[in-house]
Amino acid sequence: MAAVLASIPIVSVLSMMMMFHEGQTAMEISAFARDIVWLLIPSLLMFIVMPWLIESRSWDFYPALAAGLACTVTGYFVMVQAMERFGLSA
């Protein structure tokens, strides 16, 4: 049950609501939501790498978390570069 609650995109929903109330158009909010979809891909790296390091490589929690976060940051950098190259927003 905790994983279900943690997976709710509350920050994204609140951000879109705030954007709307600050006068952003529906098209701008739609572009924001589309960018979020593309940037979910690198954020998944942490949830793949960290458990793999802990379960398969017997890493301690904090080193595995740091490695997972490093992979995510690298993934964000690569994804933003790819989005710019292919004409997607970000």
Tokens standing for residue 26: 């529906």
Q: What is the DSSP secondary structure assignment for residue 8, as one 8-state letter?
A: S
pLDDT confidence of residue 4: 82
Residue 55 has pLDDT above 90, yes or no: yes
Q: Please tell me the pTM assigned to this model.
A: 0.80
**Nearest 5°: phi and psi at 25?**
-80, 165
Q: Are 32 and 61 in contact (CB under 8 A)?
A: no
By C-alpha distance, which of 71, 37, 38 is closest to 52? Answer: 71
The pLDDT-based confidence of 90 (bands split at 50, 70, 90) is: low
Tokens standing for residue 15: 């951000």
Task: Report the C-alpha gap between 73 and 21 in whole angstroms.
Answer: 30
